[in-house]
Amino acid sequence: MFYVYVYYDPRPLKLNQPVYVGKGTGDRDISHWSKGSHNKPFQDFISHLKQRGFVSPCQRVFETEIEGEAFAKEVELITLYGRRNTNTGTLFNLTNGGEGVSGMRKTTEQKAVDGRFSREHWQDPKYRAKVVASQQQAQGTSEARATKSKNSKATWTDPEVRQKRAEGIKSSRNTEESKAKTSAQAKAQWANPEYAAKQKANNKEIANREEVKAAKAAATKAMWADPIRREKMLEARRIKKIASDAP
């Protein structure tokens, strides 16, 4: 059995963009993560993730008994996603794939485009839509879904991996850049009248649920039962009354 596999970038701001495509048999796909890769840029990327507690998702997206078909799919996906070292995409692959393709070293100039592609190329709506459509098609098979489920359960059931992954996500979302991006996205969404109306209606519906009202009432009673919080709330009311009564 031959297969084609894809590694993805698990960092929150990278939207699971594909970063490496390969063809293999046996445990070739997971060997990059467990044993290392001869592809230095990809190996540097893996090391970077491990140091920060991330686990890069790897999925087998195509399986066949014919090796030539696997090579053809590898070439197809590398062409679709594009390579960083040729300024055409997000992959760390150094060649176009296929049987008998020799490797190549990444130049300083090629390394310089990596950051730009991570920030700009993947943000191109047309390119991203094309990649997402291809991923959905490749991952839509029952075999691909089963593999994804198995890999996900295997990583999340490991306490150490689970903790590192949670810490990595929390750390990346606490950066000023991440906060600014989240804030900008929220403002853009609320600037849309249709979205704002829908959210307000949804919030109102939730607030009027009996269980939500009961929870709010219980929380209010708990606050008033706390002497310290009670005194603070009474003091706030006194200050507000004095301000309202002032001429």
The β-bridge partners of 58 are 7
On whether both 181 and 218 belong to a single domain, the answer is: no
The number of domains in the chain is: 3
By three-state DSSP, how is residue 38 classified?
A: coil
**Residues 6, 73: contact at Cβ < 8 Å?**
no
pLDDT one digit per residue (tens) for the chain, 247 residues? 889 999 999 888 888 899 999 999 988 898 898 888 889 999 999 998 888 888 888 999 999 888 888 888 899 899 899 999 888 889 999 988 876 443 444 455 555 555 555 556 567 777 667 666 666 666 666 766 676 676 667 666 777 767 776 777 777 777 788 788 888 888 888 888 888 888 888 888 888 888 888 888 888 888 888 888 888 888 888 887 777 776 6
CA-nearest of 112, 109, 111, 85 to 96 is 85
* 152 & 31 share domain: yes
Does one domain contain both 99 and 70? yes
Q: Are 98 and 75 in contact (CB under 8 A)?
A: yes
Q: Which domain holds residue 197?
A: 175-206
Say if residue 101 is in the same domain as residue 17. Answer: yes
Up-side HSE of residue 221: CA atoms within 13 Å toward CB? 6
Residues 22, 23, 29: CA angle, nearest 5 degrees: 70
15 lies in the same domain as 98: yes
148 with 241, same domain? no
Based on the domain organization, do 69 and 188 belong to the same domain?
Answer: no
Same structural domain, 140 and 219: no
Residues 112, 181: one domain?
no
What is the rounded distance in angstroms from the CA atom of residue 170 to the CA atom of residue 148? 23
In this structure, the answer to whether residues 179 and 229 fall within a common structural domain is: no
